[in-house]
């Protein structure tokens, strides 16, 4: 019987060695996967950090441009002033004004008419 016990123990030892080898392979695969995942996550983190920095820069530029636009808008006339100006222009109706040349022409024509009618 001791020989059977030895065989049985040898078989159990062999089974345990196989399980140990399988566990070692699994651990190696897990470690390899973890290293790959860690490397990928590190690259993604660097990319995201870069993109965030770019977004911050763009946001700062937008804020600066908005500030500039706001300052320039202060130079524009308010709506009420524009309405007053519009009413003034409509009241005077500049399309009815005559130019200096037109006045000179009209005066010349009148003088010519007077000369012709006085003859």
> Is residue 1 scored above 70 in pLDDT?
no
> Is residue 9 scored above 80 in pLDDT?
yes
Query: CA separation (Å) from 83 to 78, 79, 96?
Result: 9, 6, 21
The C-alpha atoms of residue 86 and residue 55 are separated, in whole angstroms, by 45
User: Stretch 95-119: mean pLDDT, rounded?
Assistant: 84
Residues 6+ apart with CB under 8 A from 85: 77
- DSSP conformation class of 96: G
Helix (H/G/I), strand (E/B), else coil: 50: helix
- DSSP conformation class of 119: -
pLDDT (tens digit per residue) in 26-62: 999 999 999 999 999 999 999 999 999 999 999 999 9
pLDDT (tens digit per residue) in 64-90: 999 999 999 888 888 888 888 888 878
Distance of CA 67 to the CA centre of its chain: 16
DSSP notation for 11-36: HHHHHHHHHHHHHHHHHHHHHHHHHH
Alpha helices in 1-119 (DSSP H): 2-73, 79-92, 100-118
């Amino acid at each position: 019987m001791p020989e059977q016990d030895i065989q049985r123990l040898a078989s159990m030892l062999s089974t345990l060695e196989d399980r140990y080898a399988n566990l070692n392979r699994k651990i190696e695969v897990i470690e390899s996967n973890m290293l790959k995942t860690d490397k990928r996550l590190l690259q993604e983190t660097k990319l995201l950090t870069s993109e965030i920095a770019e977004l911050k820069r763009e946001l700062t530029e937008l804020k600066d441009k908005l500030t500039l636009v706001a300052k320039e808008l202060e130079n524009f006339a308010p709506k009420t002033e524009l309405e007053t100006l519009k009413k003034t222009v409509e009241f005077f109706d500049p399309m009815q004004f005559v130019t200096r040349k037109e006045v000179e022409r009209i005066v010349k024509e009148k003088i010519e008419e007077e000369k012709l009618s006085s003859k």
